[in-house]
């Protein structure tokens, strides 16, 4: 029987594993056959393709948080760390998974996900930086590729079981644990030992990256220690996922503490944006807005807060989410009175204006922000969303096209562009933009449908037809390859 290449087999496990997460009726025994160990090592480019495909699948499941303000903050923090790591010039992509699970993970190719549950649990930016530096080090040390190579030396069923469990556990901890339980006890220990070695290496390199980036290296052991202490007496089943996927022992904490103590003392200033973004995560991650309102109202009443402005910011966001606009306005006014130039307070005020349909006032705020911070993504997209709400599709389209020309695009910008094009009557361009949105979101079938509609639309120009056909050929090829892999399993 002709064997597929190792990389091809690695790609095939992605749709299979994520189909399991979505509820497909596959078992661990039905995961792909990796074959023998020959040629199991994969290149950085192949790792990137695997990681990109994985993140697109995550987007298609709707678990990645779409919040430009939080995304820009996390990307900035991560990029600051990555600039001090041995990345060999390869870019990193940091994203947020909306889940109360306390976890973070690195995907091959430089993709790093952080759960909202973990952001809520961190108490300082250095603690969050410690987690990101640890995950960055997993990528720079190519632990995923080494894991694939090591797994290929196990028996075939055990290698498949281990890889499948790790992939499943990224998004569905219970599914991942169930899959790992199917691997034989001795082989589980092999995988565990291999993972622990990776964890130690990521700690050692990550703490150096933290120090070079200007963060307090004590943040890493502080976070580990607090996680272990808080859950020492808990039922094992309730231990946070971070401790399951990143086992923390007393020795490991002591080692990281020792490394931090040995580093040259320095003065560290915490970025005030961290506490503000953490407050926003708390509001976004709370299912019932009224619960967040009560939480911050009680904090302000009792004085149980680290920073009054942060508590008042969280209160303003929660009140806006709950539709209590009058009280929210009182809070945003107090915030802006205290710090009129704070971009997060200004954004909160603009979003409140939009919620009240005061579009002219909101646009004035966004324009003011963009004067101070040209092309700041949260303000650009906020302005576009406001223009669309005000039914000014033409201006929204112009703003988006100018921005995308300079800074590229991602699913959200294409989604807004599709709406703007449709609002101006450009139905063909709307279908093309919608196709790109679906493609970036991991919905290849829907992307193909949109392009087919565009290709058959009356009035399509030669240039548009050529663009559509080129993308349709590419999307159809990828769709056929994915379907072929899924059909084999």
Catalytic pick among 203, 222, 241, 429: 203
Residue 256 has a CB neighbour count (10 Å cut-off) of: 26
List the 93-97 sheet strands across, edge first: 93-97, 111-115, 104-107
- 201: annotated active-site residue: no
The whole-angstrom separation of Cα 121 and Cα 427 is 46
CB 380 within 8 A of CB 370: yes
Tell me the β-bridge partners of 96: 114
Among residues 135, 385, 421, 443, the one annotated as catalytic is 135
The DSSP string of 329-341 is HHHHHHHHHH-TT
What does the DSSP 8-state code read for residue 237?
G
Q: 95 by DSSP, 3-state: which?
A: strand
Do residues 73 and 116 lie in contact, with contact meaning Cβ atoms separated by under 8 Å? no
Query: Is 449 known to be catalytic?
Result: no
Catalytic residues: 135, 203
């Amino acid at each position: 029987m002709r064997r597929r290449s190792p990389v091809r087999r690695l790609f095939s496990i992605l749709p299979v594993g994520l189909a399991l997460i979505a509820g497909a009726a596959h078992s661990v025994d039905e995961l792909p056959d990796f074959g023998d160990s020959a040629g199991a090592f994969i290149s950085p480019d192949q790792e990137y393709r695997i990681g990109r495909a994985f993140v697109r699948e995550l987007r298609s499941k709707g678990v990645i948080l779409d919040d430009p303000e939080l995304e820009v903050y996390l990307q900035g923090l991560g990029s600051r760390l990555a600039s001090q790591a041995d990345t060999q010039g390869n870019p990193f992509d940091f994203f947020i998974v909306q889940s109360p699970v306390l976890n973070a993970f690195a995907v091959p190719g430089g993709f790093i996900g952080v759960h909202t549950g973990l952001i809520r649990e961190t108490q300082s930016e250095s603690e969050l930086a410690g987690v990101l530096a640890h995950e960055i080090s997993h990528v720079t040390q190519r632990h995923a590729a080494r894991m694939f190579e090591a797994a290929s030396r196990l028996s075939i069923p055990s290698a498949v079981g281990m890889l499948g469990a790790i992939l499943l556990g990224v998004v569905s901890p219970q599914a991942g644990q169930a899959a790992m339980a199917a691997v034989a006890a001795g082989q589980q220990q092999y995988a565990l030992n291999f993972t622990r070695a990776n964890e130690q290496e990521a700690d050692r390199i990550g703490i150096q990256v933290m120090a070079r980036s200007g963060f307090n290296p004590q943040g890493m052991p502080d976070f580990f220690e607090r996680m272990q202490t808080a859950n020492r007496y808990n039922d094992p089943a309730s231990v946070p996922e971070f401790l399951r996927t990143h086992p923390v022992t007393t020795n490991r904490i002591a080692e990281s503490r020792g490394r931090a103590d040995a580093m040259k003392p320095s003065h560290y200033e915490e970025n005030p944006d961290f506490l503000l973004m953490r407050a926003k995560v708390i509001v976004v991650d709370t299912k019932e807005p009224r619960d967040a309102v009560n939480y911050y109202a009680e904090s302000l009443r009792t004085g149980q807060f680290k920073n009054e402005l942060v508590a008042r910011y969280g209160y303003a966001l929660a009140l806006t989410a709950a539709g209590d606009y009058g009280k929210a306005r009182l809070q945003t006014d107090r915030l802006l009175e205290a710090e009129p130039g704070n971009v997060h307070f200004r954004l909160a005020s603009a979003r409140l204006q939009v919620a009240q349909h005061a579009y002219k006032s909101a646009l004035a705020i966004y324009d003011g922000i963009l004067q101070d911070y040209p092309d700041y993504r949260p303000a650009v997209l906020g302005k576009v969303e406001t223009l669309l709400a005000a039914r000014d599709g033409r201006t929204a389209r112009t703003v988006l096209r100018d921005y995308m020309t300079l800074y590229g695009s991602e699913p959200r910008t294409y989604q807004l562009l599709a709406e703007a094009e449709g609002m101006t009557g450009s139905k063909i361009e709307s279908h093309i933009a919608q196709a790109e949105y679906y493609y970036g979101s991991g919905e290849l079938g829907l992307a193909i449908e949109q392009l087919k509609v565009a290709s058959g639309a009356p009035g399509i120009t030669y240039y548009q037809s050529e663009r559509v056909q080129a993308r349709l050929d590419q999307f159809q090829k990828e769709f056929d390859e994915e379907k072929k892999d899924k059909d084999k399993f």
